[in-house]
Amino acid sequence: MFGFLKANQKSITMQQAQAELLKDRAIILIDVRMADEYIQGHIPGSMNIPLNSIQDIKTKVPDKSARIFVHCLSGARSQRACGILNTLGYTDVTNIGGINSWRGKIERG
């Protein structure tokens, strides 16, 4: 179904993402890990949409031009999710890698 990644897929480091998130509060931060992983610890303000249900983003983020940052644990699932989001018509999607590189506050629950 979805599996091919576009060569023009955007990515930045987690450090760059942290700086951008501080500057632009309108960025939508999507965590594509499973719900149990998200509960164990997530970036404050992130929205959990697991990779296996990423198509559900249409109801949560209907604006396909919204600026979206996507992350997971290490960056692999977020890369796949970005490809799927591009295929779904989202135009400003950036892979920011894995939460294991996040150097800020982590929320639990």
Query: Is 72 labeled as catalytic in the residue annotation?
Result: yes
Q: CB count, 10 Å around CB of 56?
A: 11
Distance CA 31, CA 37 (A): 10
By C-alpha distance, which of 19, 3, 13, 17 is closest to 82?
Answer: 3
- Token duo for residue 76: 């692999």
Q: Phi, psi (5° rounding) for residue 28? A: -95, 125
Annotated active-site residue in 72, 82, 96, 99: 72
Which residues are the active-site residues? 72
